Each structure stands twice: as structure tokens, then as C-alpha cells.
Homo-oligomer: A and B are copies of this chain.
Amino acid sequence: MRIGELAEKTGVSVRALRYYEEQQLLPALRSESGQRHYPDSAVERVNLIQQLYAAGLASKAILELLPCVDAGVSTPESMARLVAERDRINLQIDGLIAARDRLDAVIAAASDSASSCSSARVDAQRRTARCSSARVDAQRRTARS
């Protein structure tokens, strides 16, 4: 497929896809006239790249770790980087949970203080499904000490 279609399927911009190629994260075949062509598997790869970007990894880190994800093999260096990035993400999750709990506390306090107001609606929004757990993370981290 061509770049526009890939952009549409993945939800990322054409510019971003060209940027990924520039960063050597997303190789592209070229037609005679120079247009990029991607296999279907590129969709999955772009999603993975996006996921890692969203997790705070830099291009350089992704570039180093993509072969591990692809082939399941790793050098000692990339293994160290994998573990380092995972640990960083765990710390980031802890920070986010702490911040969220802080906001939750403020929300709860404000809801209580304004309980006379006709606002029982916040609780409805709060029920949006999610699945994050500080407890499991702490358990996981202490398990490998």
C-alpha cells in the first residue's frame, strides 16, 4: 500500500510516517517513480512504534529495541536497555498513579463541598473503564530485587 493508505489505517500523519523512515524505524520499498510502498505488516509495526513513543521512548531507543521485538533476540546491550526502559516506565506509572490519586482526592473534596449542587454527574464519568494497579507493580518490582 502507499503512504496515504497506511496513514489512514494507522491514524498517524503522512509526515510522521516519513519521519519514521528517516529514523530508520519503518523501511519502505520504493516504486520506480520513487513512491513508498508498504506491506500489510507495516500497520502493525506503526502501531508498535506509536505505542513505544507514547510510553516515552525516544527514536533512538525504539531503533535499538525494534530488532528484539521483531526477532526476539537481543544483545547484552539491548537487553540492558530493555530492562532500563521497562524500569523507567514502571517509575513513570507510579508517578502517574500518585498524581491521579491526588486529583481524585481533590475531585472528591470538591464534590463533597459542593454536595448541595445538583452535581451527581462526576461519578458517572469516573466509571470509565480502566485497569491500572499500583499493587501489582510494587509486587513485580520487589520480586526481582
Residues of A at the B interface (CB closer than 8 Å) are: 48, 51-52, 54-57, 65, 68-69, 72-74, 79, 82-83, 85-87, 89-100, 102-104, 106-110, 113-114, 122-123, 125-137, 139-141, 143-145
CB of A52 to closest CB in B, whole Å: 6
The quantity of this chain's copies bound in the complex is 2
Establish whether residues B82 and A103, one from each chain, have CB atoms under 8 Å apart when the complex forms. Answer: yes
Contacts beyond the supplied A69-B106, A90-B100, A126-B145: 12 A-B pairs with Cβ under 8 Å: A51-B99, A68-B110, A73-B113, A83-B107, A83-B126, A86-B103, A122-B143, A122-B144, A132-B137, A133-B134, A133-B137, A135-B136
CB of A144 to closest CB in B, whole Å: 5
